[in-house]
Amino acid sequence: MKQLVKSLTEKFAPSGFESPVREFIEAETKGLFDEMRVDALGNLILLKKAAKGAGQPKKIMVAAHMDEIGVIATHIEKDGFVRFAPIGGVYPRNLPGSRVRFVNGTRGVIGVEEMKPGDAVSIEKCYIDVGVLSDAGHPVCIGDVAGFDREFSEVGGKWVAKAMDDRIGVAIAIQVMRAVKDSANDIYFVFTTQEEVGTRGAETSAYSVDPDLGIALDVTGWGDTPNQKGLSIKLGAGPAIKIKDAGMISDPRVVKWMISAAEAEEMPYQREVLLGGTTDARAIQLARSGVPVGVVSIPCRYVHSASEMIDPIDVENAVKLVTRLVSLPVHL
């Protein structure tokens, strides 16, 4: 699992440019599904059919997004510096000193203009230094996108990487595909695109899958570091079962179903109320005439920085929980 997460997090796939991750998942899941398709938005949709004799199987959509936050070049200065705009929720305070890698392989360092005491960092004051001194023959074009450049590492038994949001969800979905043997349900594992810019891939894929039930796998925030308030989520205290976030209220029947499953597995779990942000579950819930949805969240510190930290124990428990949820008959 660690190797899988390392490989996934070290791919570069800002929203709209997910193909490196999609190709990796296709190779990794060979032989684990019955049907595969890629839709116009680039969503990878893998169907694992219910075991024979399963009666009237329910369609469960399990979504994990392939894309990551990043930046897009908007202007090349005469002296070679690249101005940029965010792709997704980039925090300006995390930028100075960060490194980025463009999809074409060009690497850069983010600098910030001289600031007066008390000034806040803004994206407009930042630039990418790719080590060239002029705009002539520049390796970056306007519209080129980049992801944050940071290797996976292990810190005190925790896993740290850029794009843990949401490659950890992708890794969990792959592990669940491996773990599910005979399921009572038709399981659609959907690796979605463009979540970070507004759950766009989940919107089209949920329309075509037309599921009876949806589960998103994604990271959530944390409340267990100094002066971090407002969220009762701890690393290592179990996967979180989402009750509400800023864009969605989980179906209470789905929440109850998830909690009963965690209790049956005798695993720790946490109840999640997230004040900011949302997930693919929002788009699934609002597809067609509406779908009951819930989210299994992985507690993650420093979300949307280049060093997102998770506890592998939570990941192991999430795989166990989701495997049970998608395998057994569902009666909401």
Tell me whether residue 195 is one of the annotated catalytic residues: yes
Residue in 18, 68, 195, 272 annotated catalytic: 195
| Greatest distance between any 2 Cα atoms in the chain | 70
Among residues 144 and 165, whose Cβ is nearest to Zn ion?
165
Strand partners, 73: 84
Interaction partner, residue 67 (Co ion, Zn ion, none; CB < 5-8 Å by kind): none
Q: Does residue 166 bind Zn ion (CB under 5 A)? A: yes
Candidates 72-80, 165-173, 206-214, 291-299: pick the segment binding Co ion (CB under 5 A): 165-173
Among residues 67 and 186, whose Cβ is nearest to Zn ion?
67
Interaction partner, residue 272 (Co ion, Zn ion, none; CB < 5-8 Å by kind): none
| 71's tokens | 């930046």
Among residues 218 and 251, whose Cβ is nearest to Zn ion?
218
Burial label for 3, CB within 10 Å (0-12, 13-18, 19+), is exposed
Interaction partner, residue 218 (Zn ion, Co ion, none; CB < 5-8 Å by kind): Zn ion
Q: Binding Zn ion by CB under 5 A: which of 186, 218, 272, 280?
A: 218
Among residues 218 and 314, whose Cβ is nearest to Zn ion?
218
Cβ at position 75, least distance to Co ion in Å: 26
Q: Does residue 165 bind Zn ion (CB under 5 A)? A: yes
- Nearest position to Co ion, beta carbon: 165
Q: Does residue 165 bind Co ion (CB under 5 A)? A: yes
What span, in angstroms and rounded, lies between the C-alpha atoms of 48 and 36?
9
Among residues 72 and 326, whose Cβ is nearest to Co ion?
72
Cβ atoms 171, 321 nearer than 8 A: no
Count of residues engaged in binding Co ion, rule: CB under 5 A: 1
Q: Which residues bind Co ion (CB under 5 A)?
A: 165
- What residues are annotated to the active site? 195
Q: Which residues bind Zn ion (CB under 5 A)?
A: 165-166, 218
